[in-house]
Amino acid sequence: MSFKEKIDSKRLPKHIAIIMDGNGRWAKQRGEFRVFGHENGVSSVREVSEACTELGIQYLTLYAFSTENWNRPKYEVTALMELLVKTIHSELKTLNENKIKLLAIGDIESLEENCKNELREAIQITAGNTGLNLVLALSYSSRWEITNAAKCLALEIKSGKIDPEQISQEVFEKFLNTSEMPDPELLIRTSGEYRISNFLLWQIAYAELYFTPKLWPDFRKEDLYEAIVDFQNRERRFGMTSEQLNP
């Protein structure tokens, strides 16, 4: 029985987030430059987007470029940006055909002009789509997002629009990049690393974490199904006891 057949379609996670890791190691194993790994990682992006669309998952967030990734060698940063621009451009037709809506979180202003423009255009063109929300985390880090939210909230307080006494988790969340999205219920990281790496720290408070040794360019639909089956086999208690959940 394949993992797909084991999935209970009534208990799907609304939002899956993925830390796509291991592209560099995948390339190195083949005696190639790191960029070769990133290029092959695009096939995995396509696979998971297609699988999520077929299953009816509402949100898929991919950690494509972190704030810290700016510190990589210049040639790798340039190659990653070019790959993003090229991929967004070439996949636009497929996104529309599959009713996928493209969204982005992160410090988008810090991206290079051509990347920013390509992204904005694709977001605009797919804005009316009603299927999967494909969220690219670009120049993203959670600490940046939370600090930025605090700054925006402080400005609202300064201008008298918000009384500090009104601040609650719900009010604070409105200033996060993800304010319109449900929190991820399943967070996957590939490549055998057990870290969160500054990704969606606020939003994954109750997410189930799933780690796989598979390197990102090897990640296929069946791997996603396996992660979902694993998710569905867990008991999500949200701080309560097992007895409370199963009286």
Catalytic residues: 21, 69
- Spell out, one character per residue from 172 to 191, where the chain touches ligand FPP: x when CB under 6 A holds, - when not: -------------------x
Beta-carbon neighbour count of residue 65 at 10 Å? 21
Q: Which part of the chain contacts ligand FPP (CB under 6 A), choosing from 39-47, 114-122, 125-133, 230-238?
A: 39-47
| Smallest gap from residue 18 Cβ to ligand FPP (A) | 10
Going by their DSSP bridges, the two strands 133-140 and 15-19 should be labelled as unpaired
| Count of residues interacting with ligand FPP (CB under 6 A) | 19
**Residue 17 interacts with ligand FPP (CB under 6 A)?**
no
Residue with Cβ nearer ligand FPP (20 or 228): 20
Among 61, 67, 87, 126, contact with ligand FPP (rule: CB under 6 A): 87
**Residue 96 interacts with ligand FPP (CB under 6 A)?**
no
Residues 126, 95: contact at Cβ < 8 Å? Answer: yes
Residues 18, 224: contact at Cβ < 8 Å? Answer: no
Whole-angstrom Cα distance, residue 247 to residue 241?
10
User: Mutual orientation of helices 221-232 and 34-55 as an angle, nearest 10°?
Assistant: 60
Enumerate residues 108-167 that contact ligand FPP by CB under 6 A: 136
Residue with Cβ nearer ligand FPP (13 or 22): 22
| Smallest gap from residue 35 Cβ to ligand FPP (A) | 9
Whole-angstrom Cα distance, residue 132 to residue 49?
8
H-type helices in the chain, by residue range?
A: 3-6, 23-29, 34-55, 74-97, 113-126, 142-158, 169-173, 221-232, 242-245
- Spell out, one character per residue from 189 to 228, where the chain touches ligand FPP: x when CB under 6 A holds, - when not: --x-------------------------------------
Whole-angstrom Cα distance, residue 150 to residue 135?
22
Chain residues in the site for ligand FPP (CB under 6 A): 20-25, 34, 38, 41-42, 45, 62, 64, 69, 83-84, 87, 136, 191
